[in-house]
């Protein structure tokens, strides 16, 4: 749908990323409308754990583009490939940061709809210390109170999202709210800690059917050192019925460490937990 370029803004000297809509798609009114919607929503976001949109522009020859801050870091998906299952203390801090960013969006009535490891950037802190998580690409985001024009873009029968991480209600084409993002984050968390998905299938279709009809693999079957709080939190986040999940991302974040010291980590995790934004 788009090409992304590294650029420098002449007036400020700031390094930015420019997302340019493919010329072929720029002629398609629905694609242009989606990109404008992405910009309109993401310009309202202002949180350290969310990648915001600085502005939307159009060149003299009709190219439509978005300008975003350049994030120098590593995609969560690349980190998983490079490092394998993540250390529990580190991973939980990152998950809580993702929860904080998502909660900010949800407060603005914005649902991400396509949360996955490829849409999370791990950015080193300014002091060169630990990474912090930034949720990116609200390109499939949808306001909970969608107007008729937006509803038309995501009409029944057009499923937007990534099959491996979609909630059951998204697979069914039902209305979505914050609980759908919480479900997707539960799958992201499961993969972070085990290197595997909680629902198995020979292809994306079988995995979608498993999410509609089956139960997720208990995380302790794949990682025995998972703290009870994390197991309980993921079990609740991955419930088929949205009413059985956490209502807010903040509740999910708090549940991940409820009464836990992470297997004898003592005060270390408490210090880490206090650092996340």
Q: What digits encode the pLDDT tens for the residues 111-169?
A: 998 899 999 999 998 777 789 999 998 755 554 444 444 444 444 334 455 678 889 99
Let me know whether 36 and 136 are in one domain.
Answer: no
Answer with the one of 14, 47, 69 that is the final residue of a domain.
Answer: 69
Let me know whether 52 and 136 are in one domain.
Answer: no
Which has more confidence, 256 or 22? 256
Q: Give Cα separations from 277 to 49, 109, 132 (angstroms).
A: 7, 20, 9
Whichever domain contains 200, its CATH number is: 1.10.510.10
Q: Which two tokens stand for residue 163?
A: 């099959």
Which has more confidence, 198 or 159? 198
pLDDT score recorded for residue 244: 96
Let me know whether 78 and 20 are in one domain.
Answer: no
Q: Which two tokens stand for residue 7?
A: 């650029």
Let me know whether 116 and 155 are in one domain.
Answer: yes
pLDDT score recorded for residue 151: 45
Backbone angles phi, psi at 179, to 5 degrees: -65, -25
pLDDT score recorded for residue 182: 97
Let me know whether 89 and 154 are in one domain.
Answer: yes
Let me know whether 118 and 241 are in one domain.
Answer: yes
Percent of the chain with pLDDT over 70: 84
Residue 50 has pLDDT above 70, yes or no: yes
Backbone angles phi, psi at 64, to 5 degrees: -105, 135
CB 245 within 8 A of CB 237: yes
- How many structural domains compose the chain? 2
Percent of the chain with pLDDT over 90: 52
Tell me which residue has tokens 């499961």: 190
Whichever domain contains 58, its CATH number is: 3.30.200.20
Let me know whether 107 and 191 are in one domain.
Answer: yes
Let me know whether 143 and 129 are in one domain.
Answer: yes
Residue 6 has pLDDT above 60, yes or no: yes
Let me know whether 25 and 101 are in one domain.
Answer: no
Nearest Cα residue to 71 out of 95, 57, 44, 50 = 50
- 229-263 tens-digit pLDDT: 999 999 999 999 999 999 999 999 999 998 655 44
* Residues facing residue 19 across a β-bridge: 4, 66
Q: Give Cα separations from 163 to 175, 269, 273 (angstroms).
A: 17, 33, 31
CB 223 within 8 A of CB 85: yes
Report the predicted TM-score, pTM, of the whole model to 2 decimal places: 0.82
Active-site annotation holds for 114: yes
- Domain region containing 160: 74-273
Let me know whether 61 and 89 are in one domain.
Answer: no
pLDDT score recorded for residue 120: 97
Let me know whether 106 and 133 are in one domain.
Answer: yes
Answer with the one of 69, 91, 125 that is the final residue of a domain.
Answer: 69
Residue 1 has pLDDT above 80, yes or no: no
Residue 271 has pLDDT above 50, yes or no: no
pLDDT score recorded for residue 199: 85
Q: Choose, from 46, 114, 125, 177, the residue flagged as catalytic.
A: 114
Least confident of 12-26, 70-84, 188-202, 261-275: 261-275
Answer with the one of 69, 94, 125 that is the final residue of a domain.
Answer: 69
Let me know whether 62 and 99 are in one domain.
Answer: no
Nearest Cα residue to 92 out of 104, 81, 100 = 100
The 10 Å CB-count burial string (b at 16+, else e) for 184-209 is bbbbbbbbbbbeebbbebeeeeebbe
């Amino acid at each position: 749908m788009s090409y992304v370029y590294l650029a420098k803004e002449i007036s400020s000297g700031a390094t930015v990323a420019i997302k340019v809509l493919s010329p072929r798609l720029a002629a398609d009114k629905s694609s242009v409308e989606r990109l404008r919607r992405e910009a309109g929503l993401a310009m309202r976001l202002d949180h350290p754990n969310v990648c915001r949109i600085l502005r939307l522009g159009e060149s003299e020859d009709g190219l439509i583009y978005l300008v975003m801050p350049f994030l120098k870091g590593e995609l969560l998906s690349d980190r998983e490939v490079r490092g394998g299952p993540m250390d529990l203390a580190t991973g939980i801090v990152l998950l809580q940061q993702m929860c904080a960013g998502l909660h900010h969006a949800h407060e603005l009535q914005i649902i991400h709809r396509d949360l996955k490891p490829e849409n999370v950037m791990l950015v080193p802190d300014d002091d060169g210390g630990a990474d912090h998580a930034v949720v990116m690409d609200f390109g499939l985001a949808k306001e909970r109170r969608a107007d008729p024009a937006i509803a038309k873009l995501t009409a029944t029968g057009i499923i937007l999202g990534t099959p491996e991480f979609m909630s059951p209600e998204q697979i069914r084409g039902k209305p979505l709210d914050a609980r759908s993002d919480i479900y997707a984050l539960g799958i992201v968390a499961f993969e972070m800690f085990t290197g595997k998905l909680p629902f198995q299938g020979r292809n994306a279709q079988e995995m979608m059917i498993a999410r509609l009809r089956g139960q997720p693999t208990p995380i302790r079957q794949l990682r025995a050192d998972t703290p009870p709080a994390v197991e309980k939190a993921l079990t609740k986040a991955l419930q088929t019925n949205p009413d059985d999940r956490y209502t807010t991302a903040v509740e999910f974040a708090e549940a991940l460490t409820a009464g836990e010291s992470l297997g004898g980590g003592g005060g270390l995790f408490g210090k880490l937990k206090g650092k996340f934004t």
